Amino acid sequence: MPNVQPKRCTWVNVDHVLMREYHDREWGVPAHDDPRHFEFLILEAAQAGLSWSIVLNKRKGYSRAFSDFNPEKVARYSAARIDKLTTDPGIIRNRLKIAAAVKNAKAAGEPIPCRKVVNISSLAGTGGNAGQANYSAAKAGVTGLTKALAKEWGRYNVTVNAVAFGMIKTRLTEAPAGAGATIDVAGRAIKVGVNPDVLTALEQSIPLGRGGSPAEAAGAVYLLCTPESDYVSAQTLICGGGLNF
């Protein structure tokens, strides 16, 4: 059989042995160990403004200079050690890049802070609402999105929750329907207003006997952003004064 060359990306210089081997054996191959991740974090940062071939030529020098890419050891590098590395011909002698590698190593040993995502939904999404099939479907979708993202992002210490609002009094509800009231949204006059009888009936069905304020609505979101909620995820908090369809 003829000697068939493997198909390679256009950025590969086939005459450059290290580049060719990197493409054939490493590029696009998943890596799952911390030293390998740390190695590429250092090498790719070092490459900034340069070419990947230059970094590959110095790869062994980087392995020697950065303790075989052991982040625990690199995290203990002193200022004097960093000064020494700026004179090491086996690596790219850029002080900022060297210092960044040490800083990243220190960060690798720190606990990942819990980050928060809070989606906004509605009681129409949790229980449906007659006459609002489209709105209810959209808000119910937020619940599904919340649960899916909580499962996907939990590994990154990210919590994903939602707040489903009931009746919240805003400028949209202040004017009675048919009164011709409008609000300005990005230069557009938007008609607002709700039938007062509808508002009265709705408030009477709320156990707390009133609609909520914007500050109270914001408070529900805030609850899911506090450290006390770090172990709460994939939940929908109902902010409706006790009303639940």
- Tell me which residues are annotated as active site: 22, 44, 52
One-character DSSP codes across 75-110: TT--HHHHHHHTT-TTS---HHHHHHHHHHHHHHTS
Partners of residue 238 on adjacent β-strands? 164
3-class SS of residue 165: strand
Q: Is 10 exposed, middle or buried (0-12, 13-18, 19+ CB in 10 A)?
A: exposed
DSSP state of 8: -
Distances in Å between the alpha carbon of 197 and those of 71, 191, 214? 66, 19, 22
The total number of residues shown for the chain amounts to: 245
Partners of residue 161 on adjacent β-strands? 118
Q: Which residue has the tokens 């493997």?
A: 6
Q: How many CB atoms lie within 10 A of CB 103?
A: 13
